[in-house]
Amino acid sequence: MKDRFSYSRAEVPEPIRIEQVYAEKPAGGIVVEPGFNAPETTAVGLNANGKYAVIKGYRLVSAVGASDTTINIAKGSGVAVNDIVAYGKKGVKCTKVDATSKDKDVVTVSLGIAIAEGEVLYQAKAASDTEAEPIYTPDYILGNMIFAGKGEQPVRLINGANVRKETACIGKDIEAMLPTIKRV
């Protein structure tokens, strides 16, 4: 009897990101595949081709000091070399990504400002000390995950919701641009 027993660790469930949805785009929309798995609550906006595209969100797993030259972000953000990583109105170019750790990505950027652990930075259009803005103007957040390697995908697009601050893929900067999305 003991010889047939095998233990399998339970899969880690996806965190709860959305508390309440009260407005969404009828019939959703098509979003361009971002090249990584983009979870629900990731912001999207219209790209130059008039299609919805993901605005990457980078969650800090440790605080950043003003003199730090690297930041530690949560896995799964899709961060890549040459992405413009921004917080507030300051955006800087990512010059290196070390993805060897299974818990975090170490990204080489010099933001020059102190940021608390858990804050979500965003992908910006261009590097700037005072005028950084998201790569696309955010219109909605995703209501379901987009999977890498599947091409353009139909998704639920939410424009009115309460989302969990601790797990949502948007920070206060993107939240300010989506007045009916509240991080609670």
Domain ranges of the chain: 28-143+153-183
| Mean pLDDT in residue range 110-124 | 94
Q: Looking at residue 11, what is its pLDDT?
A: 85
Position 89 pLDDT exceeds 60: yes
Confidence band for 7, pLDDT divided at 50, 70 and 90: confident
Mean pLDDT of the chain: 93
CA angle 118, 122, 127 (to 5 degrees): 130
Q: In the predicted model, what is the mean pLDDT of residues 59-76? A: 94
* Residues whose CB is less than 8 angstroms from the CB of residue 114 and which lie 6 or more positions away in sequence, other chains included: 63, 64, 65, 66
pLDDT band at 2; cut points 50, 70, 90: low
9 — pLDDT class (breaks 50, 70, 90): confident
Per residue in 18-38, pLDDT (tens digit) is 999 999 999 999 999 999 999
